[in-house]
Structure 1
């Protein structure tokens, strides 16, 4: 069955390059639907794309269609990937803030497939902090950003803002389409966020985790075709489309949820920041201020990672996380072996670009026989890399058992 690529074309001088990209995709057997903004038609005509794709090019949200379908919904539902080439600063701003005021932005918002944005604009516009913040917002939603190249621009400036080479865009889009198939039929369990341990009806103990790393792993797994279960502590994050979320509060609740779900999973990824201890007793009423010292007795929570490591099946792959402030490699390696993990993702809270709340991470992957230090990357990109490695580990387990 043909893959459907939806190609959005906006009003920049690089719009003419989208015609070559369309032609290349058609020659490779893809079905291409083109949506243009009104401004894009000032640079290249819809007829050009209609001749290449054999489809009507949509420009207005209110154009009549023969089959009376809601066109922006039907196109969004068929899309395997949505690529905007070129993407102007204007359309990036709209997408970042959920503005849907034309056919292109409306369909983009309705689509649940993988989404790619290829910026092209004047250097000053691209480097403007507003544009950069909008691009960061897009990245946080899981959209792929193909960074523009540096060179001589149509306006006469020299700098960053030139549309990425069409050949590179083509190759990377095809790679993303292939990635979507990697985990088809696989089941992925991800834990994310903090846990909360009640002291009394008013107060609780927790940590600084926002859940971003786990949620981006879940998003990446879904984009790669997996059935994803996300067991999450309290966060303000939206659940990635198509992901099943089980909400928990305490470490004990997370332990019970993992025990119930893990046996049917191919991959178990423990990204949650789980409290190691809980108060031995929860006060029935608010603890009142009395004296200079408050003594609370704590008891240890169940070690979820150790439990899964002890009980996992031969073909299951287990990945844990280790956040440290000192002796990163030593502590992560001990954790790997002690908890019977296949891999530990280790990061240092004090390294710039790593840690809680941010959209990036800096990780070292600890394996049984080696380690791999990665450069700073988005949490979504790190999630994809983790999943690709875990898939290879599962394949190796299968070969070893033959």
Structure 2
């Protein structure tokens, strides 16, 4: 297999309060030896400016120099300057929170550059910490026998499980058909309609969006499995466990359980504010890639999807090459693959694969999301909960902002 799902290199139990001076004296020299050339290559590929980190204790600038990454005191000319307090700095140095998380929370202060520069340095810094390259001219998509992989292939339960597991690891996503009965999706859609009156804005269990004309629509229903006997039967069935084992391959995956282990989404037309159709992002883009990736996110197509009513699109191989999110939105350098679905189809993407939801043009669509996580290595930690809380705030922040992300 091309890449193991388990890419975790850090433990929450090893976290400490970390300042820049301690980081530069302790962690930085070894990281530069191992990954500095990868960062420098990315700086050159993107034409990234120096990055200056400004704190109450001083400022330091990071820039490519002699084919590696170098640091110098002060603010370098032309640098993107990011100001961090002690907690934010410690989180950033240890991949607990990214610049993107701080921007989303309206907490990041920066000058001397724009969102593109911030996005590029989010990727470059993770390259330094984890050795995840931002560019790889030799990347290929090959099947288990070395032949070119058909990125548009739809796989079924009759396909070799080893082939399905390999496809996921090679491309970072899957399109599956034949696992669920399409007739069940009509039942699920009816159960969504019956559940909707139980949700209201501010209940902590739903997201809302504004559509043209000013109407508010519920677009995300958590705890839906408790209101959907059809969905509960699917998740507790033998076929679903067969899917888990197939995706796991040589890794160990566990099903997401509990009331919030699945959510139902409604994608209406003409959304003008709120979190409904989100442009390219990674599920680990707020941080914690090194603590929890890669999980598998499974989408269950309740209605069909396509250009007319929106669909999932993925950047194939973006779990292997750390393409900055802002570049994925404007000039991606890996294949962008649309995944049109029929009712009952499944989509699978890794938590560190770039993906987006395109907006419906003619009719709304409905989809459910759940997934399988890597088996835990230690008890759940506060950092994971903090990012979950931030995700819950996203809808309110975007409604306040008055535009779709």
Question: Normalising by the residue count of structure 2, what TM-score does the alignment of the two structures yield?
Answer: 0.27
Say which one has the larger Rg: 1
Larger RCO, structure (CA 8 Å, separation 6 or more): 2
